[in-house]
Structure 1
């Protein structure tokens, strides 16, 4: 796998870098960003962004660089969907198509040939980390749609990911408008296929982790009641004794101001398990 360095910026004791590569999985050129500390890098955290985002949002807004600067752990931030296509309905709304890949493998005509973000993360990004960066252990985290992706990938692919955390995740997409719209557009049979991509249903069906899932959720998040459905995930975890630490944060919303406020807790959570 050849990755092409597009630009880099010295940042604390390391470099923020931007790459592109030709993806075998999506059949398109894909972009990702990283923060790579100067130390010998052994571990990585995958960050999955939310709706409308790309590889730049987290790495430029969240303030992760000083948190990883003195560690042996890098972070990689892939784009949220394939680009450069013109599929039917792909560019018509913010919550479906470009910038809204939902971290699943599509099965509908057209989309099934390119929108395979589940495999892109779990196969291709993992391969890039191991082959191009010599990574040994990998954790995963994300925000909103990306929080959904992090939870689903970590529950389905337990052997790949040492730990998982999320900010404001869509935890029950088969029951919320965002998820129902995406699943009906990407999946031929959303009623039967959707369960693989719904964290609440996965936990209920026994896809549990031995480590603690960390989630932070703002109580002033405008999407909490309609789209995020945190209580559904809490109830599912309680029923099967899945260890979960879900912090409801008073006055915080859905923005990167919220993410930046509690990102140190999440990075420490991952580092403690990656370096165990």
Structure 2
């Protein structure tokens, strides 16, 4: 699975690159963005830790890299930033050409079990198992030191994948995540398509349900979530209070910051991404 370099841009002493490769997990070509900080490009440099950022509905591998303004901080901290695409492209499923119907912009970071999505919509395998190995073979990334961060649908992905794969990721943070997808319209729509009508299968991909079922505290050093109070999706789709209650019930430390006057978009992300990267860096470097 050789990486094909599509573009490379000098950025804060490092390089913002975009790649394509033939994904075995997806069965389709997939794209991924990688920011390599200057520390990774120095001759003889050791591999650097990486933060996977999972983007939201209607986004691609380019969205966070272009809009978030995260590379300056990543360069300062010596962090690589990995931005996977949000779903398969060209999979030939219903709604793929729509803004969002299940295809194109709504992979939900899970492995679909229902036709026709089950053939290619295997985003969990792609993110957790495939991408770290492919990238580490060809780029100076230390995949023993990985963090997860995400926004909206990607915040759902970051929380659920971190809880479903204990020990794989050293830190998890999220911005305006979908916290209880089995209880809100976005999640009900996606889960009924990808996982079928049996709601008992949905809880395995619901961050709040996963947290409530933990036998021990999964992230003793804490989880960071930022949420804008002017976010139009807050009450109807995101429900951070449900995740907050699940964390409190098992004693999971959670820093949930609520911000007046901020909404769901990338100006909100720009306002807080530095805090998330510094949180991630502390965790990823704690054992180095």
- TM-score bracket, normalised by the shorter chain, equals over 0.9
Q: In structure 1, how many angstroms separate the alpha carbons of the residues matched to 2:113 and 2:196?
A: 6
Q: Is the 8 A contact 1:4 1:20 kept in 2?
A: yes
Number of matched pairs: 276
Question: Which residue of structure 1 lines up, in the alignment, with residue 44 of structure 2?
Answer: none
The normalised TM-score by structure 2 is 0.93
Question: Does the Cα contact within 8 Å between 2:36 and 2:81 map onto a contact in 1?
Answer: yes
Q: Any runs of at least 4 consecutive aligned residues in structure 1 with deviations exceeding 4 A, and if so which?
A: none
1:47 equivalent in structure 2: 53
Residue 19 (structure 1) aligns with: 19
Do 1:214 and 1:266's aligned partners in 2 also have CA atoms closer than 8 Å? yes
Residue of 256, 262, 265 corresponding to 1:255: 265
2:145 match: 137
Aligned residues of 1:183 and 1:190 also touching (Cα < 8 A): no
Kindly indicate whether the alpha-carbon contact (under 8 Å) linking 2:99 and 2:105 is maintained by their aligned counterparts in 1.
no
Q: Is the 8 A contact 1:81 1:97 kept in 2?
A: yes
C-alpha separation between the residues in 2 aligned to 1:92 and 1:187? 21
| Partner residue, 2:67 | 61
Distance 1:224 1:95, change over 3 A: farther
- Gaps of at least 5 residues in structure 2 are 41-46
Gaps of 5+ in 1: none
Correspondence for 2:253: 243
SS in 2 for 1:82: coil
The two structures, once aligned, show a CA RMSD in angstroms of 1.3
Per the normalisation by structure 1, the TM-score is 0.97
The equivalent of 1:179 in structure 2 is 187
**For 1:220 and 1:186, how far apart are their aligned partners in 2?**
30
For 2:160, the equivalent position in structure 1 comes to: 152
Paired with 2:173 and 2:113, the residues of 1 have a C-alpha distance of 28
- For 1:212 and 1:132, locate their aligned partners in 2 and report how far apart those are by CA, in whole Å: 32
Q: What residue in structure 2 maps to residue 37 of structure 1? A: 37
1:32 partner SS: strand
- Output aligned runs, 1:51-200, within 5 Å: 51-133=57-139, 134-135=141-142, 136-200=144-208
